[in-house]
Amino acid sequence: MKQDVYKVLIVDDHPIVREGLDRLLSRQKDLVVCGQAEDASQALNLLETASPDLAIVDISLALGNGLDLVRQMRAKNTDIKILVSSMHDETLYAERALRAGARGYINKQQATAKIVEALRRILGGRIYLSDRMTDRLLSRVADSSEEQKKISVDRLSNRELQVLERIGNGLGTAEIATRMNLSVKTVETYRQRIRQKLSLKNGAALASFASQWVLEDAK
């Protein structure tokens, strides 16, 4: 009996990561890499030309955002199954990834073998999350000060969260506007909304909060 072979699209702006995943998946009899993309535009083109069954999508892309890309991919192909892979804290991004249309979320710090496990679980019609994240979603018992901080940040929209991350990385309003393909006025509006939602008094407080949040998210 012939074994089904599933085509996988890799979307990540780091060539080393893409090549590492390519080598890993090439050793699997039932998985084959049908394309690699470094940004949303390339990914959407390959979605049409390569017809992948699965996609591994990073959240932070040089051009575009992974969660927005997940929505676009699902809008174009409702059958594709997507695993979001990221260095970001899963307690903040995993739910967002699922709401965007992904079938799983995996942190890049996990063993590479987990990627294959995650893809096979998704192919089996299940959702893949770490045990820690699964327990969190099931229990919803979150009482620590750290969790309260994440809940406050969770009030932000995906686009506001992108702006917050860039503020925390030291980018100014004009540079954020350029990287996100937005007007300066629009970015200023997002900054104001973030301050209001997080109860931050001024721009200095926003910059301080964003920097601390980025540092803690990277741990």
The rounded distance, in Å, linking the Cα atoms of 45 and 29 is 26
| Arithmetic mean of pLDDT over the chain | 86
The rounded distance, in Å, linking the Cα atoms of 173 and 166 is 9
Which of 78, 119, 88 lies closest to 218, judged by CA? 88
The rounded distance, in Å, linking the Cα atoms of 140 and 134 is 10
The rounded distance, in Å, linking the Cα atoms of 169 and 113 is 31
Residue 141 is predicted with a pLDDT of 42
Question: Which percentage of the chain shows pLDDT scores above 70?
Answer: 89
Alpha-helical regions (H) of 27-155: 40-49, 66-76, 90-100, 113-123, 131-139, 145-153
19 residue type, one letter: E
Flag whether pLDDT at 2 surpasses 70.
no
Residue 215 is predicted with a pLDDT of 66
**Tokens linked to 61:** 């892309």
Residue pLDDT, tens place only, 16-68? 999 999 999 999 999 999 999 999 999 999 999 999 999 999 998 878 789 89
**Tokens linked to 192:** 């104001």
Flag whether pLDDT at 166 surpasses 70.
yes
Q: How confident is the model at residue 139 (pLDDT cuts 50, 70, 90)?
A: low
Residue 138 is predicted with a pLDDT of 66
Residue 200 is predicted with a pLDDT of 87
Residue pLDDT, tens place only, 177-213? 998 889 999 999 999 999 999 888 888 888 888 877 8
Flag whether pLDDT at 89 surpasses 60.
yes
pTM passes above 0.85: no
Question: Which percentage of the chain shows pLDDT scores above 90?
Answer: 47
